């Protein structure tokens, strides 16, 4: 049996649904799913049922998370363009600012004319995380040229979006980008088969766009799961919400790609650990590691720790899985079991 040891993985883009929608996920089940997937640090998004756009809501969210989390957890702040008075108060306790420029779960899309004011008001160089699909790239470029603040383009999913980032990097602008495993491993053809279980924003794209992402992986900084759990019942409803879970399948999928020669192990580590650590200035506890078994296994809904209980990758064969996770010299996960106590992990900022 071949095993390898990886550093604790970092996912800077997850939706843990707590507070407000804990029937989908909560801080315990979401962070348990993270450990099962080899992630020991994550950053949670602010599009809760009530969006996290005030210091008061953020404080409540953090106090709640402290009781439940089994992996280190930080938070992005939210803005709808009308809460600039809160920025100074939260800048030292958040990891970044999330801005939605397109329609997705929760309906927190800003008027794109407000982007420039948001950039002016954000008082720190902690990243501005943009959900900005290709239709809004002109406004992003104009804003970034005027106010060159550190920007992370979330879940880049097609050729046009990645070309935009590559050009902006060439021009010396402070920009990074993330790609999700679902955009790397699924296409619009799978969306037809998966129905609502393949329905997310950005949508799954044609093969040609997927190939462009693989061919230009060098220009990608981070693999982010965009873990976005919804119940099966919600997905099967007449208006299924956008989003798929991803924390437990990201590493197995990337290990499969590595085994197929699509990327090196060094690149895998930079995409799932090093680049996020640098961008968000994360120092993980010493003696933190993930023991991975490199043998073929099949992803199954039955083994999912996430409260949603399903994955769009059910039935897929992958090249490896997480056997054990150690944080600060303590074994916190072993062979499917969460050993860390609720509330034992750190809130990071």
Q: Which stretch binds Zn ion (CB under 5 A): 68-76, 106-114, 160-168, 226-234?
A: 226-234
Q: Which residue is nearest to ligand DOR (CB)?
A: 243
Piece of 237-245, 260-268, 280-288, 289-297 that binds ligand DOR (CB under 6 A):
237-245
Give the residue, chosen from 68, 126, 131, 183, that forms a contact with ligand DOR under the rule CB under 6 A: 131
Quote the least distance from Cβ 163 to ligand DOR, whole Å. 21
Examine residue 105 and tell whether it contacts ligand DOR (CB under 6 A): yes
Q: Which of 10, 11, 12, 15 binds ligand DOR (CB under 6 A)?
A: 15
18 near 32, Cβ under 8 Å? no
Q: How open is the CA angle 139-142-144, to the nearest 5 degrees?
A: 105
Min. distance of Cβ 241 from ligand DOR in angstroms? 6
In the complex with ligand DOR, the residue whose CB is nearer, 97 or 200, is 200
| Count of residues of this chain found to bind Zn ion when the rule CB under 5 A is applied | 1
CB of 84 to Zn ion, least distance (A): 23
Distance CA 202, CA 228 (A): 12
Binding of ligand DOR by 242 (CB under 6 A): yes
For position 26 contacting Zn ion by CB under 5 A, the verdict is no
Residue 105 CB, shortest distance to ligand DOR, in Å, is: 3
If one asks whether residue 104 binds ligand DOR (CB under 6 A), the answer comes out as yes
Write down the least CB distance from residue 287 to ligand DOR, Å: 34
* Piece of 48-56, 139-147, 224-232, 310-318 that binds Zn ion (CB under 5 A): 224-232
Q: In terms of CB distance, is 7 or 240 closer to ligand DOR?
A: 240
Q: Does 243 bind ligand DOR (CB under 6 A)?
A: yes
Residue 104 touches which member of ligand DOR, Zn ion, none, C-beta under 5-8 Å by kind: ligand DOR
**Among the listed residues 228, 251, 279, 325, the single contact to ligand DOR using CB under 6 A:** 228
Contact status: 200 vs ligand DOR (CB under 6 A): yes
Query: What's the farthest any 2 CA atoms get from each other in the chain?
Result: 56
Q: Please give the Cα distance from 137 to 330 (Å, whole number).
A: 45
Site string for ligand DOR, 153-192 (x = CB under 6 A): ----------------------------------------
Q: How far is CA 195 from CA 26, 42, 93, 242, 246, in A?
A: 25, 29, 39, 11, 17
Residue 191 touches which member of ligand DOR, Zn ion, none, C-beta under 5-8 Å by kind:
none
**Of the candidates 226, 246, 308, 311, which one interacts with Zn ion according to CB under 5 A?**
226
- Please give the residue ranges that form the binding site for ligand DOR (CB under 6 A): 15, 47, 104-105, 131, 200-201, 228, 241-243
- Please give the residue ranges that form the binding site for Zn ion (CB under 5 A): 226
């Amino acid at each position: 049996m071949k095993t390898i040891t990886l550093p604790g993985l970092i996912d800077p883009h997850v939706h843990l649904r707590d507070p407000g929608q804990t029937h989908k996920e909560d801080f315990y089940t979401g962070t348990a799913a993270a450990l099962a997937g080899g992630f020991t640090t994550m950053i949670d998004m602010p599009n809760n049922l009530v969006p996290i756009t005030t210091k008061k809501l953020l404080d409540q969210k953090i106090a709640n998370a402290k009781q439940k989390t089994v992996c280190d957890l930080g938070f992005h702040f939210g803005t709808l363009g009308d809460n600039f008075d809160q920025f100074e108060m939260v800048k030292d306790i958040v990891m970044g600012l999330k801005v939605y420029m397109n329609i997705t779960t929760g309906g927190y899309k800003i008027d794109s004319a407000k982007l420039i004011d948001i950039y002016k008001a954000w008082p720190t160089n902690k990243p501005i995380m943009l959900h900005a699909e290709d239709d809004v790239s002109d406004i992003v470029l104009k804003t970034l040229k005027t106010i060159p603040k550190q920007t992370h383009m979330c879940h880049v999913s097609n050729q046009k979006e990645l070309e935009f980032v590559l050009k902006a990097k060439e021009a010396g602008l402070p920009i990074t980008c993330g790609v999700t495993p679902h955009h790397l491993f699924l296409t619009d053809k799978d969306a037809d088969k998966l129905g609502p279980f393949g329905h997310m924003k950005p949508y799954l794209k044609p093969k040609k766009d997927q190939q462009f992402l693989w061919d230009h992986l060098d220009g990608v900084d981070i693999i982010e799961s965009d873990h976005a759990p919804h119940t099966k019942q919600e997905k099967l409803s007449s208006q299924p919400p956008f989003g798929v879970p991803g924390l437990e399948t990201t590493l197995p999928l990337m290990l499969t790609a590595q085994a197929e020669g699509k990327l090196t192990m060094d690149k895998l580590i930079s995409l799932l650990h090093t680049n996020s650590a640098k961008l968000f200035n994360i120092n993980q506890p010493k003696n933190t590691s993930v023991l991975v078994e490199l043998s073929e296994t099949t992803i199954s809904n039955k083994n999912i720790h996430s409260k949603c209980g399903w994955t769009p990758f059910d039935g897929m064969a992958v090249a490896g899985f997480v056997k054990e996770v150690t944080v600060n010299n303590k074994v916190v996960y072993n062979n499917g079991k969460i050993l860390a106590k609720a509330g034992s992990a750190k809130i990071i900022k």
